[in-house]
A and B are shown apart, each in its own frame.
Chain A
Amino acid sequence: MNQALTCPFCGLLCDDLGVESRAGRAEVTAAGCAQARALFPVPPQAQARIDGQAADWRAAAKAAAERLAAARRPSIAGLGCDLAGVRAALMLAERCDARVEHRHGAALAQELRATRRGGSLRTTLSELRNRADCVLFAGTRAAAHPRFFERCIEPREGLFGARQRRLILIGEAAQTAPESAALEHALAFPNAHLAEAVQLLRARLAGRRLDARHWHGIPIERFDALAAVLRAAHYGVAVWDAAELKPPHAELALRALYDLVAELNRDTRWAALPLGGNDGAAGAAAVCTWLAGRPPPLRYVHGAPQDALNADATDLVIWISAFDPQAAPPPDVPAVVLARADWRGGAAPAIFIPVAVPGVQRPGALVRLDEVPCLPLAAPAPADLPGVADVLDAVRAGLAGRSAHAAA
């Protein structure tokens, strides 16, 4: 049995899983969540196909290169893979002037745009777990990260002694019934109003008079009470998940939250912990930034990276989903799908190439949702399948001499 393995299936990268290989399939035997138990078992083999016809993966990669060379506006999307896969995607995009985007690019972009427009104080999971005596859940219950509460909130005994944490929910997260008595439902309202609610909190924290006595049925005094709680924290953490807020205006809420955290931090300590990073998004953002100067979405123009401004129409998509068997490529565009062997994310694509799942069938590395820790992925059930990077490198090799600016 393999102990203390990293789970690649959400941005938390829990690294305490026990995994066994049974008949070539990985099974979670210790720790892990329902999602991990469902996604670790992956068939060791699947058939590569070109237009429905069975083919060797190398032949499929060659066919993909031919179609890529003929495409005018290709894109490499989904990008659900490990760091080496993202790197290979960029090297391919550079050769064929492709657009590069991640499945969770919209949430990434909201977060990025908010941090580029002011200050941001952030923290990481271990700091939250050991220090936080007050956690403000803004519009989220961390539902996309199943073990967040178990790993970061519930441990009471920390490095600095026992912690009484106040756990406060605002927004839609506070509208549903509490599953635990520990959660305080401070202010319930739709997440679309989050930016305004945070501005109200900031106004009351700054001691500003307001004409309004109520806001969406909530007496303003409730904001005062919440402001007092936030101010009383020794180390407060504001948690949100941009994916649960609607772009493009979610960034206004994120910006307001960062400003709130910075204002609270003048007297006591506060920091933010944005959640996200699923499907390798945090790693994709990191690699794209160190190699291309920006997170996805980006595009290459004449071999130089640029921000991808608008969602241009694309005429061929290379869709990568090594972690999620159900991630579907955009409809109505010919697709080359590089995905796990049990992928079932829609109709049969033009070309399908099964790839090894990093962390299950192949070693690799990913960046955790809090962006700093970078963890290794093991291969508890090695399979005779190529990695995402192997396939993309083969496509790139097939492209040699065909691309628009190969020898420019």
Chain B
Amino acid sequence: MALPSSQSRGSSVSGLILTLKPQAPEALDGAGLLPASLAGLSPAEAARRPLAPGIELGECFTVQADPAAPDHRLTLRTGARRLARLGCAMDGGTLRVVGDAGDLLGQDLRGGEIVVEGGCGAYAGAGQRAGLIRVRGDAGDFLGGAADGYEGMRGGVLLVQGRAGARAGWRMRRGLIAVAGGCGDWCGAEMLAGTLVAPRCGARAGLGLRRGSLVLWECPPELPATFNDAGVAEFVWLARLDRWLAALEFRLPPLTQRARRLVGDQGAGGKGEILIVGG
């Protein structure tokens, strides 16, 4: 997948590494930590940028140059501390989080790539419009879900190597979510459209599903009674999805074209589907 590269303002400048200081305030909003807003700045300049009203970045982070990286690349070392809203409304460049991310990772993401080496909190990818989020660890509840004031995920790709919590894909509207470790209960609840792929998920998947597809390898427990079995068929697009995920180097069991199609939620219009791969 081609990602837009942000404009570099000077050829000689490098990326930055920000390391969270232990004495930084507990409740820290990371929405301002974007590659584009720090691109082209020296570490000293970056440290003087305001992080929150009355707080300079340097008060909370140690700032170093990252000579190996281009200037549209920003690395955050957060450790186990969870900064909320990392990559909020980011529209290009690369944000790498070494450690964990808090709630609302990549909220309203418009472009670029976010890579989290650890896990993330609730509502990762809330309102995401485009771009790519990769989470190596586990994700919290409401992955790609509709945080207050935001719709669910609206586009782009959200990949979680670990497990996702409850209600992944809640009110998702477009885009792709793939979770290698499986999802919790109420997966795909009230989904409006889009695709969510996971080997397995918890109880009551697809409740209130309007359109869109849940692609699973195992039939979820306690499937809502408002899904009807439409039999086994071949779905060519699953092969395309498989190739796409492979190109993104995302590891999942192979997707066959053959799948059982469960149609629902009949209470919410009945235009959504749960595909059980292999039938």
- Does A371 belong to the interface (CB within 8 Å)? no
Q: Is the CB of B148 within 8 A of A72?
A: no
- Does B17 belong to the interface (CB within 8 Å)? no
Chain B positions 207 through 245: 1 when the CB is less than 8 Å from some CB of chain A, otherwise 0:
110000000000000001111110000000000000000
Q: Is the CB of A203 within 8 A of B208?
A: no
Q: Is the CB of B208 within 8 A of A252?
A: yes
Q: Is the CB of A255 within 8 A of B190?
A: yes
Q: Is the CB of B141 within 8 A of A202?
A: no
Chain B hits for A149, CB < 8 A:
none
**Given A252-B189, A302-B53, A408-B54, A199-B268 contact (CB < 8 Å):** yes
Tell me the A238-280 residues at the B interface (CB within 8 Å). 248-249, 252, 255-256, 259
Chain B hits for A113, CB < 8 A:
148
Inter-chain CA distance A215–B226, complex, in Å, is 10
- Does A116 belong to the interface (CB within 8 Å)? yes
Chain B hits for A196, CB < 8 A:
204, 207, 224-226
- Does A405 belong to the interface (CB within 8 Å)? yes
- Does A23 belong to the interface (CB within 8 Å)? no
- Does B72 belong to the interface (CB within 8 Å)? no
Q: Is the CB of B208 within 8 A of A256?
A: yes
Tell me the A141-193 residues at the B interface (CB within 8 Å). none
Q: Is the CB of A201 within 8 A of B267?
A: yes
Chain A positions 203 through 237: 1 when the CB is less than 8 Å from some CB of chain B, otherwise 0:
10010111110010000100000000000000000
Q: Is the CB of A309 within 8 A of B84?
A: yes
Q: Is the CB of B224 within 8 A of A199?
A: yes
- Size category of the A interface is 35 or more
- Please name the residue on chain B nearest to A218 by beta carbon: B225
Inter-chain CA distance A195–B227, complex, in Å, is 14
Chain B interface main SS type: loop
- Does A22 belong to the interface (CB within 8 Å)? no
- Most B CB contacts (10 A, CB to CB) among A73, A195, A201, A301 go to A195
- Does B27 belong to the interface (CB within 8 Å)? yes
Q: Is the CB of A215 within 8 A of B225?
A: yes
Q: Is the CB of B229 within 8 A of A73?
A: no
Q: Is the CB of A199 within 8 A of B267?
A: yes
Inter-chain CA distance A210–B185, complex, in Å, is 23
- Please name the residue on chain B nearest to A213 by beta carbon: B225
Q: Is the CB of A199 within 8 A of B84?
A: no
Chain B positions 156 through 168: 1 when the CB is less than 8 Å from some CB of chain A, otherwise 0:
0000000000110
**Which of A211, A255, A408 lies in contact with B208, CB distance below 8 A?**
A255
Inter-chain CA distance A117–B146, complex, in Å, is 9
Supply 24 A–B pairs (Cβ within 8 Å), ascending by A.
A73-B26, A113-B148, A195-B204, A199-B207, A199-B208, A199-B267, A199-B268, A200-B225, A200-B226, A201-B267, A203-B267, A206-B266, A209-B228, A211-B228, A212-B226, A220-B225, A249-B166, A252-B207, A259-B268, A301-B29, A302-B52, A302-B53, A310-B121, A408-B54
The residues of B with any CB-CB pair to A shorter than 8 Å are: 25-27, 29, 52-54, 84, 103-104, 121-122, 141, 146, 148-149, 166-167, 171, 185-186, 189-190, 204, 207-208, 224-229, 265-268, 270
